[in-house]
Amino acid sequence: MIRFDGKYKVKTVCLLLFCVLLLTGCGENISSSYASSVLASEIAGRGFTADLKADSFARDFCVVTEDIPVPGLEMANNIEAVLLVDVNNATALAAVNAHRPIHPASTTKLMTALLALENCSMDEKIILGEEVTGFRYDEQVLPGKVGDVMTMDQAMHFMLMYSANDISNAIAVHIAGSLSAFCDMMNERARELGATNTHFSNPHGLDADDHMTTAYDLYLILSECIKYDKFTEIVSSPEYSTVYYDANGNSVDRTVRSTDLFIRTDKDVNPPAGITVIGGKTGTTGGAGHCLIVLCRDSSGNPYISCVMGTPDTDTLYAHQKEVMSLILNGQ
């Protein structure tokens, strides 16, 4: 562990980080966005006073330093972003606006899910509180009621598959005790992953001025989520039926379907031939547009992460995802 105190100058640390980045290439390296933030800290005259664990930033992740356009793809608007990463080779096959901060919508729930996977067992009981109330009629909710009791496994299905904002809040309060404390956990975990262009102000993704991420940072977060079999089990499920209990002990039957049309069996939305979508997370708000980041595989089983953010409508979102995924086939 390296401690940055009065003995060390930030300038020296920046130089060391930059050298490591140059020497290591795209395999085990330090995120370029993280290196940029260190240099920005020096320019702004800010020093480091906390411990920094080097292994938090040295990972088998791809570093994206420039745009790699998708041939023939016309971006729909100025907030759209695209990223396609070959996971095994840590190589970007496409990247447009990958580091541009944008509203993440419900792709936010990837971080909420990651913290649940890291801090909870799936059979833990969650008792829903006031945090599940107060959503508008047009904001996606289960709906859960105060006093409802469900397991973390059930809550994770409702959040990841159905994108239930109220259940995202319930998970957050269960883990951290309050929404604000959970957001602190989200932002700390983002920093540990090198997602330095991300700031979360809620666990669900509804638009807020200070709630932002990037396509690249979402790639980093999803890369952690897919290490858990429970995550891939949930996001690959087209439909989920279960029973939980209300405050009076009465059973509540609930069935939800995935918001990812690539996963749904009742929708005729398919990836390019030879590509299998395992699953990921959708997101839609007025500020974010239509978003989808997924884990997919080619015919040989090789994994890729494909992210399209900020399209104006659902049809454009899936059309652009198909264009991006087609690059996988071009490399075979």
Q: Do residues 136 and 213 share a domain? A: yes
Q: Do residues 114 and 251 share a domain? A: yes
Q: Do residues 218 and 119 share a domain? A: yes
Quick check: is 98 in a domain? Answer: no
Averaged pLDDT for residues 139-144: 97
DSSP 187-221: HHHHHHHT-TT-B-SSSS----TT-BB-HHHHHHH
- The rounded mean pLDDT for the chain is 85
Averaged pLDDT for residues 173-195: 98
Q: Do residues 124 and 253 share a domain? A: yes
Containing structural domain, residue 203 = 108-257
List the end-to-end C-alpha distance of the chain, in Å, as a whole number: 42
Quick check: is 81 in a domain? Answer: no
Q: Do residues 115 and 253 share a domain? A: yes
Tokens of 198: 């991300």
Q: Which amino acid is at 114?
A: L
Q: Considering 257, 280, 297, which residue would you say is the last residue of a domain?
A: 257
Measured CA to CA, the distance from residue 298 to residue 294 in angstroms comes to 13
Preceding amide of 143 cis, omega within 30: yes
Measured CA to CA, the distance from residue 115 to residue 187 in angstroms comes to 11
Residue 331, pLDDT score: 65
Averaged pLDDT for residues 324-331: 90
Quick check: is 127 in a domain? Answer: yes
Quick check: is 287 in a domain? Answer: no
Residue 1 has pLDDT above 60, yes or no: no
Quick check: is 214 in a domain? Answer: yes
Residue 330, pLDDT score: 82
pLDDT tens-place string over residues 284-326: 999 999 999 999 999 999 999 999 999 999 999 999 999 999 9
- State phi, psi for 42 to the nearest 5 degrees: -65, -45
Measured CA to CA, the distance from residue 43 to residue 97 in angstroms comes to 24
Quick check: is 232 in a domain? Answer: yes
Q: Do residues 119 and 253 share a domain? A: yes
Q: Considering 257, 280, 301, which residue would you say is the last residue of a domain?
A: 257
Q: Do residues 198 and 192 make contact, with C-beta atoms less than 8 angstroms apart?
A: no
- Say how many domains are in the chain: 2
b vs e for 80-98, b when ≥16 Cβ sit within 10 Å of the residue's Cβ? Answer: bbbbbbbbeebbbbbbbbb
Q: How confident is the model at residue 61 (pLDDT cuts 50, 70, 90)?
A: confident
Quick check: is 92 in a domain? Answer: no
Measured CA to CA, the distance from residue 142 to residue 255 in angstroms comes to 10
Closest CA to 16 of 4, 26, 243: 4
Quick check: is 2 in a domain? Answer: yes
- State phi, psi for 281 to the nearest 5 degrees: -150, 135
Measured CA to CA, the distance from residue 7 to residue 10 in angstroms comes to 10
Residue 191, pLDDT score: 97
Cα torsion angle, 112, 115, 121, 124, sign: negative
Q: List, in sequence order, every beta strand (DSSP E) within 30-132.
A: 51-52, 59-60, 81-86, 91-96, 125-127
pLDDT tens-place string over residues 192-228: 999 999 999 999 999 999 999 999 999 999 999 999 9
Q: Do residues 113 and 252 share a domain? A: yes
Mapped onto helix, strand or coil, the DSSP state of residue 284 is strand
Q: Do residues 83 and 197 make contact, with C-beta atoms less than 8 angstroms apart?
A: no
Q: Considering 218, 233, 257, which residue would you say is the last residue of a domain?
A: 257
Residue 4: how many CB atoms within 10 A of its CB?
16
Q: Do residues 13 and 149 share a domain? A: no
Residue 154, pLDDT score: 98
Full strand arrangement of the beta sheet holding 303-311: 91-96, 81-86, 303-311, 289-297, 276-285
Q: Do residues 135 and 227 share a domain? A: yes
Q: What DSSP designation does 176 have? A: H
Q: Do residues 134 and 44 share a domain? A: no
Q: For position 187, which CATH number holds?
A: 3.40.710.10
Q: Do residues 223 and 162 share a domain? A: yes
pTM of the shown model: 0.82
Longest dimension (CA), the chain: 63
Q: Do residues 55 and 162 share a domain? A: no
Q: How confident is the model at residue 10 (pLDDT cuts 50, 70, 90)?
A: very low
Averaged pLDDT for residues 86-105: 96
